[in-house]
Amino acid sequence: MGKSLLIQSNRYEEQIQEVMRALDFTWELEKLFSICLECNVPVQDRDKQKVKDRVPRNVLNEHDTFWQCPQCTKVFWQGSHYENTQKKLIMLGLGAST
Ligand SMILES: [Zn+2]
């Protein structure tokens, strides 16, 4: 039987904190972006050269580390979404600054 948790807050930041507290859960920042959000499968490291036709030129110039989903072939990099999420987690007291 699964457990259930009644979320009290209407603010998503507090909702996250409630769930984290209830589960005694901590983020591992390096794992946060290791799964494809579409397919829920682990993404794989990709050589810059291998993804150069799949990402915008400015992204290619600014980043050296890329990942690709083996299922949907979507390419990921540590863009503004990554940085914003990292900042937000730290702001919520949920992330460790690296
Ligand atoms: Zn995928």
Cα-to-centroid distance, 69 and ligand 1 (Å): 5
pLDDT at 53: 93
Domain architecture of the chain: domains with CATH: 33-90 (2.20.25)
**Helices and strands (H and E) in the chain: how many:** 5, 3
As beta bridge partners, residue 75 has 68
**Contact assessment for residue 17 and residue 41, using Cβ atoms and an 8 Å cutoff:** no
Residue 51 has pLDDT above 60, yes or no: yes
Residue 5 has pLDDT above 80, yes or no: yes
Mean of pLDDT values over 52-79: 92
Residue 9 has pLDDT above 60, yes or no: yes
Structure tokens at 72: 């949907």
Share of the chain above pLDDT 90, in %: 44
pLDDT at 73: 94
Cα-to-centroid distance, 68 and ligand 1 (Å): 8
Confidence of residue 97 (pLDDT cuts 50, 70, 90): very low
45 φ/ψ angles, rounded to the nearest 5 degrees: -60, 140
Cα-to-centroid distance, 66 and ligand 1 (Å): 14
pTM tops 0.75: no
pLDDT at 16: 85
Cα-to-centroid distance, 22 and ligand 1 (Å): 30
